[in-house]
């Protein structure tokens, strides 16, 4: 029996390796390899035309020493993340709760609400969004019917961030679908028992729904933070592609792109990319570290 099992085990192992081979090739050639190359370029001066020359920490010293645009773009990106992530998650949860009422044609509504997540990151949608929030766009026309003189959302640096945040909130579909799946996993007898005890809808939400959804909230929060830090297309299209007006749309990713592909300072752009990677890792680590205090799983234990 041993002489029969060994060839079979080896055959299964070879099959598993063959299935893993495309992923391994993609990981090493399209992910790990470019990351190592970018790390090396971050310590060089490289303009895409000549060979990179080693400069050590000069790029990082320039970034933290005398680059005012770096600080502005980082502050603007932080503001965007702090505004868009909570609003998107709250809106997604509200829509998921509305769809969890047993309405007919749930699949149709779920698909309709999910479509913005598929289209929201496209250039076409960003162009449409720019037209909607233009000086004579749909938003200002609607405000005009209410007797409100709307501002120039796109042209004024004090208001440009809000259309970009609104576009992010509009892309709530993916988080909503995950919230809806989480709501359907909550046992109905918990709500029935709470009704017997006289608990109202608000008490049921804060005592049953919200605690049971904390693992889903945790996942959506992580993914939303990562995606928000990487926001590029809305800032590029809704702004003028150069961070205007007055750097009001100079998101971190846009500044990185301009440094690398407009000013041909790829070494500097690589250093900016690695700083962003560390920032995202730090925010993700903070969420993971604090999850033990607010994430609860079905076994009654808190997250670890």
pLDDT tens-place string over residues 124-177: 888 888 888 988 888 988 888 988 888 888 888 899 999 999 999 998 888 999
Q: Could you tell me the pTM of the whole model?
A: 0.88
Task: Read off the pLDDT band of 68 (50, 70, 90).
Answer: very high
pLDDT of residue 105: 65
Residue 237: is the preceding peptide bond cis (ω within 30°)? Answer: no
Is the confidence at residue 245, as pLDDT, over 50?
yes
% of the chain at pLDDT higher than 90: 47
pLDDT in tens, 232-241: 999 999 888 8
Please give the pLDDT value at position 199.
83
In the prediction, which pLDDT does 134 show?
85
pLDDT value for 269: 95
Which pairing describes strands 44-45 and 53-54: parallel, antiparallel, or unpaired? antiparallel
Backbone angles phi, psi at 133, to 5 degrees: -100, 15
Query: Among 28-42, 99-113, 257-271, whose mean pLDDT is lowest?
Result: 99-113
Higher pLDDT, 119 or 86: 86
Digit-coded pLDDT (tens) for 34-49:
999 999 999 999 998 8
So what's the pLDDT on residue 12?
61
User: Which pair of structure tokens corresponds to residue 229?
Assistant: 């830090």
Encoding tokens for residue 240? 């003028």
Indicate whether 1 pLDDT > 50.
no
Output the average pLDDT for the chain: 87
């Amino acid at each position: 029996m041993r002489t029969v099992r060994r060839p079979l085990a080896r055959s299964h192992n070879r099959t598993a390796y063959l299935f893993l081979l495309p992923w391994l090739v993609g990981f090493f050639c399209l992910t790990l390899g470019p990351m190592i190359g970018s790390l090396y370029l971050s310590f060089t001066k490289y303009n895409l035309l000549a060979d990179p020359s080693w400069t050590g920490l000069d790029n990082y010293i320039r970034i933290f020493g005398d680059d005012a645009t770096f600080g502005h773009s980082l502050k603007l990106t932080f503001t965007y993340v702090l505004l868009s992530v909570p609003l998107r998650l709250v809106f997604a949860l509200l829509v998921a709760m509305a769809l969890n009422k047993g309405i007919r044609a749930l699949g149709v509504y779920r698909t309709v609400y999910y479509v913005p997540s598929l289209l929201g990151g496209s250039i076409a949608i960003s162009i449409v969004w720019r037209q909607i929030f233009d000086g004579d766009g749909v938003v200002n026309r609607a405000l005009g019917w209410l007797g409100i003189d709307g501002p120039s959302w796109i042209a004024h640096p004090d208001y440009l961030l809000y259309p970009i945040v609104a576009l992010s909130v509009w892309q709530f579909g993916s988080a909503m679908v995950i919230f809806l799946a989480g709501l359907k996993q909550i046992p109905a007898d918990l709500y029935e028992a709470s009704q017997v005890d006289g608990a109202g809808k608000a008490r049921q939400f804060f005592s049953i729904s919200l605690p049971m959804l904390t693992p889903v909230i945790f996942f959506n929060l992580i993914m939303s933070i990562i995606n928000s830090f990487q926001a590029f297309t809305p800032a590029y299209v809704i702004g003028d592609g150069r961070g205007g007006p007055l750097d009001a749309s100079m998101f971190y990713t846009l500044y990185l792109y301009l440094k690398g592909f407009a000013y041909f300072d790829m070494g500097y752009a690589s250093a900016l990319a690695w700083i962003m990677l560390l920032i995202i890792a730090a925010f993700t680590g903070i969420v993971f570290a604090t999850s033990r205090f607010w994430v609860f799983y079905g076994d009654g234990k808190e997250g670890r």
